[in-house]
Each structure stands twice: as structure tokens, then as C-alpha cells.
Amino acid sequence: MSTSTRFVTNPGGQVGGEIRVPGDKSISHRAAMLGAIAEGTTEIRGFLEGADCMATLDAVAAMGVAIERPGAGVVRIRGAGLGGLRAPSAALDLRNSGTSMRLLAGLLAGQGFDAILIGDASLMSRPMERVAAPLRRMGADVRTNEGRPPIAIHGGRPLEGVDHRLDVPSAQVKSALLLAGLQAAGRTRVREPAPSRDHTERMLEAFGVKVDRAAGEVAVAGGARLRAARIDVPGDFSSAAFFIVAALIAGREPLTLLDVGVNPTRTALIDILRLMGADIRVNNRTDAESEPRADIQVHPGGLRGIAVPESLVPAALDEMPVLFAAAAVADGDTIVSGAGELRVKESDRLAVMARGLASLGISVETRPDGLRIRGGTVGGGGVDSQGDHRVAMSFAVLGARARAPIAIDNAQNVATSFPGFTDLAQAVGLGLSEAS
């Protein structure tokens, strides 16, 4: 991942057909971590073999957990039990993966050994006090470097269950606290101002842990034991999002995305796009397992700009970059506010998307917590994705509607969440190529 990749788009995509996207990133991370601390062998199918989830697998392997990968997307984890992880012999390098770092900080806060968590340049600049400070309130010894990684955890501290109230809805922080709570005395409760993705809660239940859930809050008791589980990971809605928008703005015929996770804490992009006039159908929904899944059928059609209701933003935050791409070719203005968290993702996604869109001739106003984008004619040229996977894929989709090719630099991190993106983009009819 050290070499830089350039995407080049060719205008005039003709999107349509039927595809599957790779497994869900959030669910894959959690399956690897919970499998590692469960008793018995967990089998995961549809595991996302992207660089982020591989960083989690490598980290748990470095703590003595036996992992087998008998086939594509299949991972077997011989769980060590909650008290069975071993001290890693070196710092755990989580590369580009914020989810790995924040969730592992919670998991390791109550262990009996020391650990240091590091990552690549992007991860080393991301805020970590949001997880370290509440863990300290539970009695953990967790230090950051002026709020950023490395995170140094000094193990062997007894943890106390605490009531936490999050200022910002964050599934990563909530999950870290629940994982620490499994190892704390008493109850650990997390309250949040808006629902963040609830994959940890659902998966803990699949591993046999009792989770108390009520509106806006979740709690676990310390001392629980996890029983190994079989986890079938659905397609990642956040990866599907790129093709949902591609089908809308560059479709020739309907595009169907098979077996995508449609957990309601993730799918607000569909609601937003419908408000913009999109025809998106959710078919064959099943709720048989812990995560709902469905086929998503997208019918091409024009979009109109809207003021996006702020209530829909938290459950569409990772999809904002591709929504901005859609807004660039919508009729009229699209206004997003309440999305300030985008500034502390893999890049400052408000700034990087605004700069890229402006350089392609789109009129964009940047606000502290959002963007106002006036739909228009997209020109060609060059944009720098700043090593942010979702920014790179958003411009790759928008390229179908540009008047000339777009060169997208620093696209190598697309492999963190979406291995095979370029091949799939070509298969659905986007004119995308890749150069190193």
C-alpha cells in the first residue's frame, strides 16, 4: 500500500446489471474481534478481505489467536476466551483502520498486559481521546499522544462499569466501551444523542451475551462469556452506495445489488436519494439472522437538489462523499449540515471533496459542518483523494458524468474497504482504469 495508485475515469458510463459487493467492513471487524475472545471456533463467511479488516485479523493473531483461512472470504478463529489473549511482542500496527484502533483500545483496556496501537500517517493524525477518556473513567490506563495515536495501554487495571453519555454519536466509541464493559465490574451503559450503527450489539447477542437495549442507550454486564458463532457477513451497504449512485447518474438499465446489509442504522442514503427523486427498491429482505439483508434495485433517473434533513445524516455519514458526487449532477442546490464529523475521518472529507468538486468546475460552498453544492456540468482534470478510499471511489463514480477524463490520485487505499472495486466498476459499465 506504499505505492500510489491513480484512477482514470472515462466519461459516459452505461451502468446496469446484477452484482455483489464485498462483505461488510464493520461486521467483519467485529466478527474477528469477538471470535478472538469467544470460547470455541468461530467461522465467518463473506469476511471482507480488505486491508482494514486484515489489520484486525493480524492484530488478534499477534495476540496468540489461531486463525485459518480455508477459502475466499472464509475465516476460522480459534477463540482464546476473554482472558486468553497474550501480550503482543511488538506494537500493533492497525494501518489505515480507525475501527481496528478504537475497538481494540476498548478490548485491550481490561486485559492483563500492555499494548501499543499505531497506524499509518492518516490514522496517526486522528482523534483518540474520544475513546481514551471514557476508558480512563472506567479505571483503565490508556494514554494518547496529545489526543492522537500511539495509544499506549497499560494492562492489569481492574475496570469499573460506568454510565457514559457520548457527545457525538459514534459506533466506534460505543463499541469500545461495550468491549471494555465485558471485562468491568458491574454494568456499563452507553447513551448516545442519535443512533449509531448497532453491529456490536447485534453480534454480541449472536455470541450469547445479554445486551440491554432501550431507546438511545445500551448496556452490558461484566463477566459475560462469549460462545463461538457462525457469522455470515452481508455485502457492505457503504460499498454498495457507490454503485447505487453510479446507477442513478450513469445508468442504462436497472442495477441490482444482491445480498446487501440493510441494517437501518446504515441505510439513510436510500432515504436521502429518494427525497432527491431516486427510484430505489429494496427487495427480498430477510431478517433471519442477526443482520437484515436484501437485494437493492436501482432505476436510473435524474436527481434534484434538496436540503438534506439533519436527522438522516448520522446514518449516512460514510456515504456523504458519494452523495456529494450525486449532488454535483443533481438539478439545483443540495445542502448538507450536521456532518462536522466528516472532518475527522480518513481525511477531512468536507475539505477534500469540496476541493475536488471545485476543481472540476462545480460550485461548492464549504461550511463548518457541511457543504452546499450546486449541480452543474462536471469538467475533467485531476483530483487528489488524499489517500481516502471513499473520496477516490466517489470521484470514480462521478467521472461517468464528466465531460472529460478525471485522474484521481492517491487511490491506493480503496483496497482498505473495497478490494476489486475497479474490476467491479468495469463490470457494471463504468469506464474506469487504474495505474500505479
State the pairing for strand pair 148-154/141-145.
antiparallel
Helix (H, G, I), strand (E, B) or coil at 33: helix
**Residue whose Cβ sits closest to ligand S3P:** 26
Rounded to a whole number of angstroms, the minimum distance from the CB of residue 24 to ligand S3P is 9
Rounded to a whole number of angstroms, the minimum distance from the CB of residue 267 to ligand S3P is 14
Q: Each residue of 89-98: b (16+ CB within 10 Å) or e? A: eebbbbbbbb
Q: Are 22 and 52 in contact (CB under 8 A)?
A: no
Nearer to ligand S3P, 172 or 394 (CB): 172
Question: In the bound complex, what is the minimum distance in angstroms from residue 377's beta carbon to ligand S3P?
Answer: 31
Of 75 and 402, the one with the shorter C-beta distance to ligand S3P is 75
Question: Residue 9 or residue 412: which is nearer to ligand S3P going by CB?
Answer: 412
Strand partners, 184: 159
Amino acid present at 411: A
CB of 353 to ligand S3P, least distance (A): 15
> Could you list the residues that contact ligand S3P (CB under 6 A)?
26, 29, 99, 170-172, 175, 196-197, 317-318
φ, ψ at 65 (rounded to 5°): -90, 130
Nearer to ligand S3P, 237 or 378 (CB): 237
| Under 8 Å between Cβ of 397 and 239 | no
Phi-psi region of 156 (alpha: psi -120 to 50; beta: other; left: phi over 0): left
- Annotate 365-430 with DSSP letters as a single string: EEETTEEEEE---B--EEEE-TT-HHHHHHHHHHGGGBSS-EEEES-TTHHHH-TTHHHHHHHHT-
Q: What amino acid is encoded at 54 in this protein?
A: M
Give the helix/strand (H/E) hosting 367.
strand 363-367
Write down the least CB distance from residue 169 to ligand S3P, Å: 7
Residue 116 cell numbers, joined: 501499543
User: For ligand S3P, which is the closer residue by CB, 192 or 295?
Assistant: 192
Rounded to the nearest 10°, the torsion over CA 3, 8, 14, 16 is 10
C-alpha cell at 421: 472495486
Minimum Å gap between C-beta 25 and ligand S3P is 7
Q: Which helix H or strand E contains 69, and what residues bound it?
A: strand 66-71
Which cell is 407 given?
485522474
For ligand S3P, the closer of residues 250 and 269 by Cβ is: 269
Residue 243 or 329: which CB sits closer to ligand S3P?
A: 243
The Cβ of residue 35 has, within 10 Å, a number of other Cβ atoms equal to 29
Q: Answer yes or no: 318 catalytic.
A: yes
Per the CB < 8 A criterion, the answer to whether 105 and 138 are in contact is: no
Minimum CB distance to ligand S3P smaller for 172 or for 386? 172
H-only helix segments in 11-80: 25-37, 51-62
The Cα 107–Cα 109 span in angstroms is: 6
Mapping DSSP to helix (H, G, I), strand (E, B) and coil, where does residue 5 land?
coil
Catalytic residue among 318, 333, 384, 423: 318
Q: In angstroms, what is the minimal distance from the CB of 29 to ligand S3P?
A: 6
Q: Strand 163-165 and strand 148-154: pairing?
A: unpaired
The nearest distance, CB 361 to ligand S3P, in angstroms, is 29
Q: Write out the catalytic residue numbers.
A: 318
